[in-house]
Amino acid sequence: MTTSNMIRELCEKRHISLAELCRRIGQTPQNFNKKLKRNTVSFEEMLIIAETLGVCYEQAFIFPDGRKISLHTEG
């Protein structure tokens, strides 16, 4: 699944339009749509989207035993 598809599905499940998401995260729909088409939405932007829509977003390496290495790994 692409980042664009993930964001669109998230909006659908949260019952908001992509334009409304853009408004909430302070980006223009035109600029954000370009990022979606180029697949250049940054990790930081994904975190902002998650926080804005009240969900968690995680980017991590996950070992077979469940251990994780991520930007937010706690001791």
Tens-digit pLDDT profile for residues 3-45: 899 999 999 999 999 999 999 999 999 999 999 999 999 999 9
SS3 26: coil
pLDDT of residue 11: 97
Q: Which residues contact 19 (CB under 8 A, 6 or more apart)?
A: 29
Q: Domain ranges for the chain, please list them.
A: 3-70
Spatial distance between the Cα atoms of 68 and 56, rounded to a whole number of angstroms: 15
H-helix or E-strand containing 65? none
SS3 7: helix
**Residues found in the chain:** 75
Structure token digits, residue 69: 């290495």
**What CATH topology corresponds to 3-70?**
434 Repressor (Amino-terminal Domain) (1.10.260)
